[in-house]
Amino acid sequence: MNKPQLLLPAKSFPTLKCALEYADCIYFGTTDITMRKRTGFKKSQIKKVVEMCHEKGKKAYMTLNTVVYNNDIKKVEKIIDIAKEAKVDALIVWDPAAIEIAKSKNIEIHISTQANISNYKSCNFYQKLGAKRIVLSRELSLKEIKKIKKNTSVQIEAFIHGAMCISISGRCHLSTYLTGKSANCGECVQPCRREYFLTDEKGEKIQCDGKYLLSAKDLCMIEHVPELIKAGIDAFKVEGRLRDARYVSVVGRCYREAIDSYFNKTFTKEKAKEWKNQLEEVYNRGFSTGFYFGIPGKEDLSLHEADNVSKKKRIFCGYVVNYYSRAKAMEVWLTDNSLKIGDEIIVEGSTTYISQKIKSITIDDKFVLKGEKTQNVGIATKEKARKNDKVYVVK
């Protein structure tokens, strides 16, 4: 039985740094022709992203997974040329135009979940078009996935954690209809996460079980990793190109440990519960097993809260003013919140990611137990911080 690859998302160099600790492959996008248009790397950074992945022996997959219109053709050609020169390992596509252009450039293609591939005949169709891997529809049961695996030789990839869309495989038109921002072009404003009220023809409100009637809970399959492996899925994918570095780090570590523990025969239900507890400490909207074991019901909707319900949240404290390499310490201006000894902090910038507990605080070269809001404090760090990096406390 082959060990499945673990794919983790990256939207920035800090998230990439965290992902590379645990992933077999990274998937990322630019700010164009991608389903996460408001975040991602610049085209000039693609080569650096790929180099960082290859230095760690990991593969780099790039997303070009939106609808492609006539005026997008030249953009797609340009981005694919840059990707080829950067030696991207594969492109995640689904629009026939993107498939054709990628094939003409002789770049490996993986078919995005946007294609809503739900049967083995469709898998074989795309394989004949040159696809090396299929990212399956998120609306499939585990039983259906097993049947697909038995009837195709193409690699299959499935989402195992992260946000779920209320529409089939993310093919949503609600955002376009309400705001003019197309979800299928990476501009979704997530109207499904808003409060809705049901009214009758007289305008009177009808009582419902909740307020967020379209908000799906997040997918979490950490307790079912053995079943996913036995199904023969070639790659496990974590959704989260909008999430921060801490999210990628915690989720990546939990699934890495779960996969490895299955193969070294140490996976237990108790371990799985502990991993799930840790996953509950980072961004989530509550957890569900999605379609894997049947059609989701109202218990799989986040009816009362549509945003983050994590047990721990990061709170902004201030900025790094300076870093002193000899002392291995940073000076932090506490603009918004205080910090004390023992606090878990995160320092994040365009290239920085540090996660640690505070062991010492100084003010004017004197050791103190706490730094108050508006003060400048010195904090020892295990890695280099940079001016203007943001400092958060995790509580």
Note whether residue 38 is domain-resident: yes
Note whether residue 202 is domain-resident: yes
Q: Are residues 354 and 240 in the same domain?
A: no
Q: Are residues 322 and 289 in the same domain?
A: no
Question: For residue 359, what pLDDT is reported?
Answer: 96
135 pLDDT above the threshold of 90: yes
Q: Are residues 242 and 288 in the same domain?
A: yes
Note whether residue 308 is domain-resident: no
Exposure of 152 in the CB half-sphere (CA atoms within 13 A)? 30
Out of 267, 300, 333, a domain closes at 300
User: How confident is residue 171, by pLDDT bands cut at 50, 70 and 90?
Assistant: confident
Q: Are residues 289 and 332 in the same domain?
A: no
Domain that holds residue 341: 314-394
Note whether residue 307 is domain-resident: no
116 pLDDT above the threshold of 90: yes
* Stretch among 77-81, 129-133, 182-186, 306-310 having the lowest mean pLDDT: 182-186
pLDDT single digits (tens) 235-271: 999 999 999 999 999 999 999 999 999 999 999 999 9
Question: For residue 295, what pLDDT is reported?
Answer: 94
Q: Are residues 228 and 271 in the same domain?
A: yes
User: How confident is residue 96, by pLDDT bands cut at 50, 70 and 90?
Assistant: very high
Q: Are residues 215 and 318 in the same domain?
A: no
Note whether residue 309 is domain-resident: no
Q: What are residue 297's DSSP bridge partners?
A: none
Q: What is the mean pLDDT of residues 75-87?
A: 97
Note whether residue 283 is domain-resident: yes
Which residue type does 383 have? E
Higher pLDDT, 285 or 201: 285
Q: What is the CATH number of the domain that holds 365?
A: 2.40.30.10
- Closest Cα to residue 23, out of 260, 252, 212? 252
Q: CA 106 to CA 145: how far, in whole Å? A: 29
Q: Are residues 330 and 210 in the same domain?
A: no
Question: For residue 250, what pLDDT is reported?
Answer: 98
214 pLDDT above the threshold of 90: no
Domains identified in the chain, total number: 2
Q: CA 362 to CA 174: how far, in whole Å? A: 52
Q: Are residues 220 and 335 in the same domain?
A: no
142 pLDDT above the threshold of 80: yes
234 pLDDT above the threshold of 80: yes
185 pLDDT above the threshold of 90: no
pLDDT single digits (tens) 329-373: 999 999 999 999 999 999 999 999 999 999 999 999 999 999 999
Q: Are residues 267 and 369 in the same domain?
A: no
Cα separation values, 177 from 63, 65, 214, 311, Å: 25, 21, 16, 35
* Stretch among 63-72, 200-209, 283-292, 318-327 having the lowest mean pLDDT: 200-209
1 pLDDT above the threshold of 80: no
Mean pLDDT across the chain? 95
Q: Are residues 150 and 185 in the same domain?
A: yes
Q: What is the DSSP letter of 124?
A: H
51 pLDDT above the threshold of 90: yes
Out of 245, 270, 300, a domain closes at 300
User: How confident is residue 174, by pLDDT bands cut at 50, 70 and 90?
Assistant: confident
User: How confident is residue 305, by pLDDT bands cut at 50, 70 and 90?
Assistant: confident
- Closest Cα to residue 8, out of 179, 159, 172? 159
Question: For residue 269, what pLDDT is reported?
Answer: 97
The encoded tokens of residue 42 equal 């610049």
- Report residue 18: phi and psi, to 5°: -70, -40
Question: For residue 230, what pLDDT is reported?
Answer: 97
Higher pLDDT, 166 or 94: 94
* Stretch among 86-95, 190-199, 265-274 having the lowest mean pLDDT: 190-199
207 pLDDT above the threshold of 80: no
Q: Are residues 321 and 273 in the same domain?
A: no
- Report residue 377: phi and psi, to 5°: -130, 155
Question: For residue 203, what pLDDT is reported?
Answer: 86
Note whether residue 24 is domain-resident: yes
Residues 6+ apart with CB under 8 A from 377: 331, 332, 334, 339, 361, 362, 363, 368, 371
Question: For residue 364, what pLDDT is reported?
Answer: 93
Exposure of 25 in the CB half-sphere (CA atoms within 13 A)? 21
Q: How many Å is the Cα radius of gyration of the chain? A: 22
Out of 300, 322, 350, a domain closes at 300
Burial class of 97 by CB neighbour count within 10 A (0 to 12, 13 to 18, 19+): middle
- Report residue 350: phi and psi, to 5°: -65, -30
Q: What is the CATH number of the domain that holds 273?
A: 3.20.20.70
29 pLDDT above the threshold of 90: yes
Q: Are 298 and 217 in contact (CB under 8 A)?
A: no
Note whether residue 305 is domain-resident: no
Q: Are residues 386 and 262 in the same domain?
A: no
Q: What order do you get walking across the sheet with 366-368 strand by strand?
A: 353-357, 344-348, 390-394, 314-324, 329-333, 376-380, 361-363, 366-368
121 pLDDT above the threshold of 80: yes
Q: Are 316 and 344 in contact (CB under 8 A)?
A: no
